[in-house]
Amino acid sequence: MAAKYSKMRRQKCKNILSFNTFRFYFVSLLIFLAFCQKTSSNSVESQNSHPKFSQSISKAISDVIHEFYITQIIKFDFIVYGEKSNHINDVIDEVTKEMNKEIPTTLKHITNIQDWNHEFNRSAVIFIKSIKNLENFQMRSKVEDVKNSKIKYYGSERIKFLVYIEDVESVEQFLDILVYKDFESFSMFGKMEFFEFFLYFDRRQKEIFLIVHKMYGSKFCGKFLIKKLNSFSINSQKWDNTLENFDHYENFHGCMLNFLVRYSVEFYLIDGINDKSINDTKFGGAMFEIIQIMSKHYNFTPHYSLGAVINFKIYMINTKNYKPNDQCIFHFSFSPVTFYSSLAYYTQSFSSTNFMFHVSYNDLYTNYEKLKMPFDDLTWIFLLLTFGLTFATIFGLQFCPRLIRTIIFGKDINNPGYNALGIFYGISQLRLPRESFPRATLVIFIWFCLIIRTCWQSMMFEFMTTDMRKPLPASIDDLVKMNYTVLVDELKLKYYNDLLNKRESPKIIKYTNLGFVDFYKRALNGKTKSKYAFFINDLEEGDLKRFYKRSLPIMENERLSKPLAIASPLNNILQYQLNKLVDRLVSSGILNHLHKYGEWYVNRPIHVEPEDTKRILSMHDLEFGFVIFLGFM
C-alpha cells in the first residue's frame, strides 16, 4: 500500500514539473515575442522620426534667419540661382513654409542676374547650386544700381543676404573660391560686402557651417580671411554654439581698417581737409585718440574716410549683451548704414541709430511737487517707517503697566506722543526725563529729527528760490513713460512704426507739411494738454527755433554680421588706457553729457537744455505753506 502511494506521489510530482516547465517556456516565448515587437516598433519609430535630409538643411537656415534677420525685416525673398535641383527645392519648400508663418515670403528662380528685380529694402536668401555657379555669380550691374539709387540704408532698409551653397566638397575648396586671386573680378564679395553670411554643407563631415567672409580684409591689406561662426550637426539637429558668441579679435596683423569719419564719431579737424587724401589731414579729439590706442594694441593701421556731412559727436557703449565681468566693449560707430566700409566684423549683436526730434521746453516743477524733491523715494519710505514705528511704540506702551512706562518715558512725562511730535517740528521740551535711559533715548531722537529737518529745510529753500524744469525725454522709452504724442511725417510713418513697435508704442499721429505747422503752433502756444515730440528732418530744423532740439539715441537689439566694436578682456593695459582717456575728456568738459540708459553712452547734446534760474521768494511760492497750515487747523 505504501509503495503504491509513493508511486502515485512521484507521478503527480512529475506531472507538476512538466506543467511548470511548459509554463516557463510559454512565458519566456511571450516575453521574447513582446521584446521583438517593441524593438521592431522602436526601429520603425526611429526611422519615421528621423528627419529627412532637406528638413535638416531647412532647420539650419530657418534658425539663422530667425536669429539674424526676422526681427529687422518685413519681407523676405528666396532666390534660386543656377541649376534646378530636387534637393534644393525640398529645402526651399521647408524654409518657405516656416517663414510664411511670420513674414511674407516670395520665391524666384533665375538663370541670369539681370532677371532679378530685387527691392533693395528687402532681405533675401540666395541658393546657389554649386561652386561653379558661385564663381560666375557676378553682380556688377546690381552694384551700380545700388550706388546710383537714392535709397538710404537705415535700420530694416539695409540689404541682408544669406547665401547657401550646396555642392562643397571641403572647407579648403570653399575658401579658395572666396579668397579669389583676382580680387577685382570678385569685387562683389570683397568691396561691397554685399553678402552677410554664407551657409555651406560639408558632405564629408555631414555638417552645415555658418561663416562670414573677409573678416578684416581690404584691398590694401590682402588679408581676406574666413571666420566660421557656428556649425549645425544634422544628426543632433542643433547648432554647436549659440549664435550670440562671436569671437573677438586680438590681432589684425597690421591690416588697414577703414574708419568712416561722419555723423556718429567726434573728430576735431586740426588742419584743413585735403580732398585728395584725408589721411594727410591732422585729427584730434576723443575718438581719434581712442582709435590710435586701439591700433597699437590690436595691430591695425587706421585709414580714415570723410563723409559728406560733418556732424560729429562722441558715442561709446558698453553693451549689456556682454557680461561686464567677462569683457569690456568699446563701441565706436563707423556709420553702419553704408556699404563702403571694409572694417572688422561685428563682435556683438547690437546697433545704434540717432534720430533728431523736437519737444517743447519742459515745464517747471510746482511748489507742491518740490515738497517731495529733497529726498528720494527710498528715503521717504524710511522716514515714514521710522516715525510710524515711533508713534506705534508710544501708543502700544500706553496699555502697559505704569512701571514699564516710567522706565521708558520717565517718571513725570505724561504725554510722550505730543513730545515726539514737538521734537520733530523743533519745539523745545518743557519737561525732560531725569532717568538715564529715557533721557538718552530722547537725545538720540532729537539728534535724528534735527538732521532730517535741517536737510529738508535747506533743500526746500534752494528749490523754492529756483525755477526748476522737469527733465526732457532722452530716449524712445522716455517718450512712452512721459506720455508724449509722437508726430511723424506720413511719408516716414511706416519706418517709425517699425521702430516704435519694438516697444510699448506711444500714440503716433501722421502729418503732412501743412498739418505739421498746425500741430506745431498749437503745441508752441500751449493750447493743447498733450505733450508732442516731433521727429524731424534737416529741412524742418529752421522752423522749430523755439523748440528744444536734441539727438535721440536708440539702442536696437539686432543681430548683425559685422562689428562696430572690438572686445578685449577686462583688467588689461588697453582698458586702463581708455578709462584714463575718457576720465580726462570728462574732466576737461569735452564730454558735457554723461548719462546711463541701459548701457553707458557718452552723447553730446546738440542743443543745451535751459538752465534753472534763481529768484527771490514771493507770496505765490509760500502759498502751499498756508494751505497746509489751514489743513492742519
Are 426 and 357 found together in one domain? no
- Domain assignment present for residue 16? The answer is no
- Domain assignment present for residue 288? The answer is yes
pLDDT at 199: 72
What is the C-alpha to C-alpha distance for residues 538 and 502, in angstroms, rounded to an integer? 25
Are 322 and 435 found together in one domain? no
Are 437 and 474 found together in one domain? no
- Domain assignment present for residue 482? The answer is yes
**Which domain-ending residue is among 424, 439, 467?**
467
Q: Where are the beta strands (DSSP E) in 234-340?
A: 238-239, 255-261, 268-269, 283-284, 300-306, 327-331
Residue 442 clears pLDDT 50, i.e. is over it: yes
pLDDT: which is higher, 15 or 100: 100
Mean pLDDT of the 575-596 span: 50
Are 65 and 208 found together in one domain? yes
Are 219 and 113 found together in one domain? yes
Taking only the tens place, the pLDDT of each residue in 257-293 is: 656 554 333 444 444 444 445 555 555 555 566 667 6
Are 84 and 157 found together in one domain? yes
Mean pLDDT of all residues belonging to the chain: 58
Taking only the tens place, the pLDDT of each residue in 467-508 is: 887 777 766 667 777 777 777 766 566 556 655 555 555 566
Residue 396 clears pLDDT 50, i.e. is over it: yes
Query: What would you report as the CA-atom Rg of the chain, rounded to the nearest whole angstrom?
Result: 37
- Domain assignment present for residue 622? The answer is no
Taking only the tens place, the pLDDT of each residue in 286-315 is: 556 666 766 776 677 776 665 443 333 333
Are 315 and 424 found together in one domain? no
Task: Report yes or no: 278 and 305 within 8 Å, Cβ to Cβ.
Answer: yes
Are 571 and 515 found together in one domain? no
The domain of 398 spans: 367-467
pLDDT at 366: 82
- Domain assignment present for residue 515? The answer is yes
Give the angle 224-229-230 at the CA atoms, nearest 5°.
140
Taking only the tens place, the pLDDT of each residue in 409-441 is: 777 777 777 777 777 777 777 677 777 787 788
* Secondary structure class of 402 (helix, strand, coil): helix
Query: Strand pairing partners for 503?
Result: none
Mean pLDDT of the 116-142 span: 53
**Which domain-ending residue is among 239, 266, 294?**
239
pTM score? 0.36
Closest alpha carbon to 134 in 47, 222, 195, 51: 195
DSSP track, 153-171: --GGGS--EEEEEEEE--H
Which CATH number covers residue 547? 3.40.190.10
- Domain assignment present for residue 37? The answer is no
Are 94 and 76 found together in one domain? yes
Are 480 and 540 found together in one domain? yes
Least-confidence region, from 399-413, 481-495, 557-571: 557-571
Residue 13 clears pLDDT 60, i.e. is over it: no
Count of beta carbons in the 10 Å neighbourhood of residue 79: 20
Task: Report yes or no: 435 and 411 within 8 Å, Cβ to Cβ.
Answer: yes
- Domain assignment present for residue 33? The answer is no
Are 440 and 512 found together in one domain? no
Which CATH number covers residue 126? 3.40.50.2300
Please give the tally of structural domains in the chain: 4
Are 73 and 207 found together in one domain? yes
- Domain assignment present for residue 440? The answer is yes
**Which domain-ending residue is among 440, 467, 494?**
467
Mean pLDDT of the 615-622 span: 60
Count of beta carbons in the 10 Å neighbourhood of residue 135: 13
Mean pLDDT of the 442-470 span: 82
